[in-house]
Structure 1
Amino acid sequence: MAEMFEWGDESVLSCDADGPAIDSARSALDLVGEALGQRASVIALPARRLGPAFFDLRTGIAGELAQKAVNYHLKVAVIGDISRYLEASTALRDWVRESNRRSSVWFEASLESLAARLGGV
């Protein structure tokens, strides 16, 4: 079950790690719809909900999720260890590094590190 947190000026929808996989444009849109329905401004999405195709940038799934979030004025934080994917892809490492410098898509090790980023802890 998803939880809501208020950290800093953000309302964070922390998604359940055992929820449906985000593996298509449709599932990304469903996730955005859930966040909007909860009046969230940030989606905290466990990395385990993202299959290998998400981390293969050529599939476009990561871009779909990022674009949908931006279109609806949401932020997305992928939470958890993605080191095995980073080791396998220079392009993904570059995208993660650049995303973490910006304000719409982040990759965080834990919910606690996301809370710290948002000024909630």
Structure 2
Amino acid sequence: MSTLRTIHDVPVLICDPEGEAICGERDVLDLVGNAAYQGAQWVVIPAGRLDETFFRLRTRVAGEIIQKFVNYRVGVVVLGDISRHLASSSALRDFVRECNRGRQTWFLADAEELHERLKG
């Protein structure tokens, strides 16, 4: 389940924190399709909805998922605390830092940070 909201004039599809784990291409294609259908420019995925393999970069799950959003020109936000994953992987810390510098994929701690990012 997901909800379309407008934040600072930006349509954002927010995934429900409860639900099946998002763990692959099929799950992402459903999200991207739903976002496109509803006119969303961004999709917000609660960190807890992502399968554990997403946070282990060697599995390539994160790259595959993010690439789908890039291909369809829909921004993606991973929202929530991922500190335990960051603590155990310098590669993931570097990946998150690079993503947060861009305009396509963000890893944000909370809704307040999301509102700030979408402001400008």
Question: Following the alignment from structure 1 to structure 2, what is the Cα–Cα distance between the partners of residues 28 and 40?
Answer: 14
Preserved contact between residue 28 and residue 64 of structure 1 (Cα < 8 Å): no
Q: How many residues align?
A: 120
Tell me which residue corresponds to 1:89. 89
Tell me which residue corresponds to 1:2. 2
Q: Which runs of 5+ in 2 are unaligned?
A: none
Give 1:29 shift.
1.4
Farther-moved stretch of structure 1 (1-10 vs 88-97) = 1-10
Tell me which residue corresponds to 1:64. 64
Give 1:19 shift.
2.3
Q: Which runs of 5+ in 1 are unaligned?
A: none
Question: Following the alignment from structure 2 to structure 1, what is the Cα–Cα distance between the partners of residues 5 and 76?
Answer: 14
Question: Following the alignment from structure 2 to structure 1, what is the Cα–Cα distance between the partners of residues 26 and 61?
Answer: 10
TM-score, scaled relative to structure 1? 0.93
Question: Following the alignment from structure 1 to structure 2, what is the Cα–Cα distance between the partners of residues 29 and 60?
Answer: 17
RMSD in angstroms over aligned alpha carbons? Answer: 1.3
Tell me which residue corresponds to 1:50. 50
1:21 aligns with 2:33: no
TM-score, scaled relative to structure 2? 0.93
Tell me which residue corresponds to 2:116. 116
CA deviations over 1:86-118 (Å, ceiling 9, x no partner) = 001111000000000001100111122101110
After the TM superposition, list the runs of 4 or more consecutive aligned residues in structure 1 that deviate by more than 2 angstroms. none
